[in-house]
């Protein structure tokens, strides 16, 4: 096996991050391989979004490092697809669906280069993947919540990235849209992309993810769904729940 084939698409090596003088990630370690969908699970305030922003290079760790395909990340220059939480996007801008997806390529194009046929083809392909091509000319402000989420996913896919980061992609979506996106994320992993997804939907993560990482300021446990439901002590440590909690009963049933 070659060195390239054994290098993870994403390696978070003992990363610590401070915000406003407070340690919000401490010695966090995690890897994601190509062809793998990993669910990042933890309570509110556990540091999940902070970890994603550190991978993107938006936050600088005080210790440790992040590597993409064996190389340290460079903000704006490492091609990572990122789907933020829906409320983090400015939907009031008067843009069409297609032009909103095109904003995902701004970092590659720069401020002054106009998109060409290759960029518009990438936008069309991304809209096809989320079944939104028929709405390409519609103003994004007129979209439903589920349609907006699909636009954000298409915006990330327009880069055709090897690594895709998803921050709570299912929040507030109806079941039909959740199933559509879940199938898409699984398919992207099967195509050879590395996908890291934060989620509060534990049952969906158990069903759809190849591995799970339990996070509470540090990575407490990583394993397959089968491994992490065989021993529930990491869940108790992550969520600070008692042995009689509803969460553990659900996990036992799963």
With vertex at residue 172, the alpha carbon angle to CA 166 and CA 178, rounded to the nearest 5 degrees, is 65
* Two structure tokens written together for 189: 């992993």
| Residues 7 and 34 placed together within one structural domain of the fold | yes
53 lies in some domain = yes
| Domain assignment of residue 96, yes or no | yes
Query: Does the residue 243 lie in any domain?
Result: no
- Residues 153, 215, single domain; the answer is no
- Global pTM? 0.90
Among candidate residues 160, 180, 202, the one where a domain is terminated: 160
Q: Return the half-sphere exposure (C-beta side, CA atoms, 13 A cut-off) of residue 210.
A: 18
Q: Give residue 128's region: left, alpha or beta (phi > 0; psi -120 to 50).
A: alpha
pLDDT of residue 168: 93
- Same-domain pairing of 55 and 172: yes
- Which of 116, 137, 160 corresponds to the end of one domain? 160
**Considering the domain boundaries, does residue 86 fall inside one?**
yes
**Residue 208 resides in a domain:** yes
CB neighbour list of residue 147: distance below 8 Å, 6 or more residues apart:
132, 135
Same domain, 14 and 52: yes
**Cα separation, 211 vs 226, whole angstroms:** 9
Does 189 lie in the same domain as 129?
Answer: no
66 shares its domain with 119: no
> Could you give the angle at the alpha carbon of 239 between the alpha carbons of 145 and 153, nearest 5°?
25
Confidence at residue 180, expressed as pLDDT on a 0 to 100 scale: 92
Q: Is residue 236 part of a domain?
A: no
Residue 70 belongs to domain spanning: 1-79+164-224
> Other C-beta atoms within 10 Å of 104: how many?
24
Statement to judge: residues 207 and 177 lie in one domain = yes
- Are 34 and 72 part of one and the same domain? yes
Are residues 155 and 175 both part of a single domain?
Answer: no
Q: What per-residue confidence (pLDDT) applies to 112?
A: 66
Of the candidates 139, 213, 216, 209, the residue with the CA atom closest to the CA atom of residue 170: 209
CATH for 219: 3.40.50.300
pLDDT string in tens for the chain (254-residue length):
344 457 899 999 999 999 999 999 999 999 999 999 999 999 999 999 999 999 999 999 999 999 998 888 765 566 799 999 877 777 788 899 999 999 888 777 666 678 888 999 999 999 999 999 999 999 998 999 899 999 999 999 999 999 999 999 998 888 999 999 999 999 999 999 999 999 999 999 999 999 999 999 999 999 999 999 999 999 999 999 988 899 988 898 87
In this predicted structure, what is the pLDDT of residue 2?
41
Same domain, 62 and 168: yes
Residue 137 in tokens = 């000319």
Q: In terms of domains, do 155 and 186 share one? A: no
Number of domains comprising the chain:
2
| DSSP-assigned beta bridge partners for residue 22 | 19
């Amino acid at each position: 096996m070659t060195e390239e084939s054994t290098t993870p698409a994403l390696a978070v090596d003992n990363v610590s991050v401070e915000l406003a003088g407070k340690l919000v990630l401490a010695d966090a370690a995690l890897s994601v391989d190509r062809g793998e969908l990993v669910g990042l699970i933890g309570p509110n305030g556990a540091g999940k979004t902070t970890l994603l922003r550190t991978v993107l290079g938006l936050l600088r760790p005080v210790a440790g490092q992040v590597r993409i395909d064996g190389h340290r990340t460079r903000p704006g220059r490492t091609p990572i697809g990122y789907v933020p939480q829906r409320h983090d996007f400015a939907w009031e801008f008067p843009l069409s669906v297609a032009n909103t997806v095109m904003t995902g390529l701004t970092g590659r194009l720069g401020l002054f280069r106009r998109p060409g046929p290759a960029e518009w083809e990438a936008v069309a392909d991304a809209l096809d993947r989320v079944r939104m091509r028929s709405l390409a000319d519609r103003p994004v402000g007129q979209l439903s919540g589920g349609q907006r989420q699909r636009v954000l996913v298409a915006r990330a896919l327009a880069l055709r990235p090897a690594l895709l980061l998803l921050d709570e992609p299912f929040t507030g979506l109806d079941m039909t849209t959740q199933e559509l996106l879940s199938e898409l994320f699984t398919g992207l992993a099967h195509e050879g992309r590395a996908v890291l997804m934060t989620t509060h939907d534990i049952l969906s993560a158990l069903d759809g993810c190849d591995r799970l990482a339990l996070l509470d300021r540090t990575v407490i446990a990583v394993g397959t769904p089968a491994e992490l439901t065989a021993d529930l002590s990491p869940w108790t440590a992550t969520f600070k729940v008692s042995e009689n909690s509803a969460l553990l009963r659900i996990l036992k049933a799963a």
